[in-house]
């Protein structure tokens, strides 16, 4: 192809028009030579490849044209510092990675002799100071938030014909995570949407263990803490027998923050989320019983209706039953009865039943019962399942556990994955934005 610098605007348009006509002509050949029943498939495959090539060429030619226009202007030949005339040095190429793959461009390198200031007149003007475009970073970040770097590499090539190594993909995503978060924090619509959403405000907090590598290069398991604020309308009233089959309304809005950090730092993060969303008070908080979670909730949101996740409560009841009865029919019958007591009467009913149970047990057999009683007693005010079911409220923290398991945990706990904490926190930000349903808001305003 003829050198780009020799083309005028009319020449470029004529060239692109010629290439378009050639591609359309080839479309006719593809259709004429297609086997019976394969016309649409052959044409679809042809345009997927050749259409993208043409668009890529349009992007390259139009950018190169704009570069020549800017460099021809007198003010762009002056030093931005001292405003004196600069000296032309040479043409230097630069490749920009776009949503249409790599675009090679040439621009002028100039130098100011008095102040020894070298610069490229067009770089800042049209955004060539950045190697990756806004749309390319959006595609990379989404791939990384949903799968490994290597899978992202494969998906970008298969779906978009963009060729980037998995290491580059990880680097781009990490750099982009903070930009996404900044766009969210500068978007007043997020607070507005949360405030105007229907339903009661609930907060759910949990954590999942991630394999990390510390500054000394040693592996250590650390907890990725996750806090979720949501609004949800109350469902229909339900009884203890209906708890597992009732259907609660989906949350009307969700916002998630997550990080591998100390409890104190995470508390500051949750406090910042509370202020950002304009949450004054919450209707309820659900968690798995960890002391640090209840402490954090009280410090950030004050006194509220706390609920111990029913599945964690029943898990402890089940462990006690297995220690007493094994896993046979007697255990199943006992667990079914204890579940109904817990859901109907809360701590008072469980205390009565377990104290009666202890009367027929020896000292060793009483240990799992005493352990269960202590666990329930420590959470006695959080076992108001009967009242919450009647009010149509949630009694499980499945929503935040879903974030732990299906998105953040699944992404960060892949086989053999071992993270440096700063990198893990960057990817976790992207995962949290995806899980919050805030993806479009995170990309609504280019930076």
Q: Per-residue pLDDT tens for 261-279? A: 999 999 999 999 999 999 9
Q: Which residue has tokens 């003829």?
A: 2
398, pLDDT greater than 80? no
Give CA–CA dist 20/26, Å, rounded.
10
C-alpha distances in Å from residue 402, one per residue of 289, 338, 405: 17, 26, 5
Range of weakest confidence among 73-82, 119-128, 192-201, 398-407: 398-407
Closest CA to 323 of 367, 281, 284, 273: 367
Band (352; pLDDT cuts 50, 70, 90): very high
Average pLDDT over residues 335-345: 96
Q: Which residue would you say has higher pLDDT here, 109 or 398?
A: 109
pLDDT > 70 in the chain, percent: 95
Answer whether residue 394 shows pLDDT above 60: yes
More confident site: 361 or 124: 361
**Model pLDDT for residues 225-239, shown as the tens digit of each residue:** 999 999 999 999 999
Quick: pLDDT tens for 179-203: 999 999 999 999 999 999 999 999 9
Q: pLDDT band at 125, cuts 50/70/90?
A: confident
pLDDT in tens, 250-265: 999 999 999 999 999 9
* Residue 90, pLDDT score: 80
Calculate mean pLDDT across residues 79-104: 86
pLDDT for residue 335:
96
Q: Report the C-alpha gap between 430 and 436 in whole angstroms.
A: 10
pLDDT at 339 over 60: yes
Neighbours of 149 (CB within 10 A): 20
Alpha helices for 220-307 (secondary structure H): 263-277, 291-301
Mean pLDDT of 191-220: 92
Residue by residue, DSSP assigns 151-216 as HHHHHHHHHH-----HHHHHHHHHHHHHHHHHHHHT-HHHHHHHHHSSSEEEEEEEEEEEEEE-TT
Instruction: Tell me the three state secondary structure of residue 89.
Output: strand
Q: Let me know if 257 is exposed, middle or buried by CB neighbors in 10 A (0-12, 13-18, 19+).
A: buried
Domain spans of the chain, in order of start: 4-131, 312-381
Q: For 142-184, write each residue's pLDDT tens digit.
A: 999 988 999 999 999 999 999 999 999 999 999 999 999 999 9
In this prediction, residues 426-431 reach a mean pLDDT of: 93
> For the residues 43-51, what does the mean pLDDT come to?
93
Where in 21-160 does DSSP place strands (E)?
A: 87-98, 101-112, 117-119
Burial 158-197 (b: 16+ CB within 10 A, else e): eebebebebebbbbbbbebbebbbebbeebeebbebbeeb
Residue 2 pLDDT class (50, 70, 90 cuts): very low
User: How many other CB atoms sit within 10 Å of the CB of residue 53?
Assistant: 14
For the chain, the average pLDDT equals: 90
User: Average pLDDT for residues 273-301, to the nearest whole number?
Assistant: 93
Phi-psi region at 84: left, alpha or beta (left = phi > 0; alpha = psi -120 to 50): beta
Give the pLDDT score at 15: 87
Minimum mean pLDDT among 324-333, 377-386, 406-415, 437-446: which range?
A: 406-415
Q: What is the average per-residue pLDDT within 40-69? A: 92
Predicted local confidence at residue 307, as pLDDT: 95
Q: What is the pLDDT of residue 379?
A: 95
């Amino acid at each position: 192809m003829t050198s780009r610098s020799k083309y005028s605007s009319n020449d470029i348009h004529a060239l692109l028009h010629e290439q378009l006509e050639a591609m359309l002509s080839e479309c006719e050949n593809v259709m004429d030579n297609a086997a019976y029943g394969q016309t649409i498939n052959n044409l679809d495959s042809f345009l997927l490849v050749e259409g993208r090539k043409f668009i890529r060429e349009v992007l390259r030619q139009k950018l190169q044209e704009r570069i020549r226009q800017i460099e021809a202007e007198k003010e762009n030949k002056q030093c931005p510092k001292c405003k004196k005339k600069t000296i032309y040095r040479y043409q230097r190429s630069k490749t920009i990675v776009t949503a249409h793959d790599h675009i090679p461009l040439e621009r002028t390198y100039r130098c100011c002799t008095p102040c020894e200031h070298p610069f490229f007149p067009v770089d800042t003007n049209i955004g060539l100071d950045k190697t990756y475009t806004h749309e390319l970073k959006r595609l990379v970040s989404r791939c990384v938030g949903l799968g490994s770097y290597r899978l992202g590499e494969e998906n970008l090539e298969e779906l978009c014909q963009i060729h980037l190594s998995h290491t580059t993909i990880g680097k781009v995503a990490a750099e982009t995570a903070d930009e996404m978060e900044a766009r969210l924090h500068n978007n007043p619509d997020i607070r507005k949407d949360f405030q105007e959403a229907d339903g009661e405000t609930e907060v759910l907090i949990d954590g999942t263990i991630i394999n990390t590598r510390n500054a000394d290069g040693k592996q250590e398991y650390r907890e990725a803490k996750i806090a979720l604020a949501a609004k949800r309308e109350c469902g229909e009233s339900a009884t203890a027998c209906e708890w597992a089959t009732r259907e609660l309304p989906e949350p009307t809005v969700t916002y998630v923050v997550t990080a591998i950090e100390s409890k104190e730092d995470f508390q500051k993060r949750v406090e910042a989320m509370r202020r950002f969303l304009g949450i004054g008070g919450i209707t309820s908080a659900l968690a798995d019983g960890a002391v640090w979670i209840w402490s954090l909730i009280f410090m950030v949101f004050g006194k509220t209706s706390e609920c111990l996740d029913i599945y964690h409560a029943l898990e402890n009841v089940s462990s006690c039953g297995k220690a007493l009865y094994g896993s046979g029919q007697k255990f199943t019958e006992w667990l079914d009865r204890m579940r109904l007591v817990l859901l109907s009467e809360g701590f008072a009913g469980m205390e009565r039943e377990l104290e009666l149970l202890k009367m027929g047990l020896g000292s060793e057999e009483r240990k799992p019962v005493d352990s269960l009683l202590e666990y329930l007693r420590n959470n006695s005010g959080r076992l108001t399942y009967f009242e919450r079911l009647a009010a149509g409220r949630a009694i499980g923290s499945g929503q935040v556990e879903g974030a732990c398991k299906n998105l953040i945990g699944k992404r960060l706990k892949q086989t053999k994955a071992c993270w440096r904490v700063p990198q893990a926190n960057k990817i976790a930000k992207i995962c949290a934005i995806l899980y919050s349903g805030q993806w479009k808001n995170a990309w609504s305003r280019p930076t």
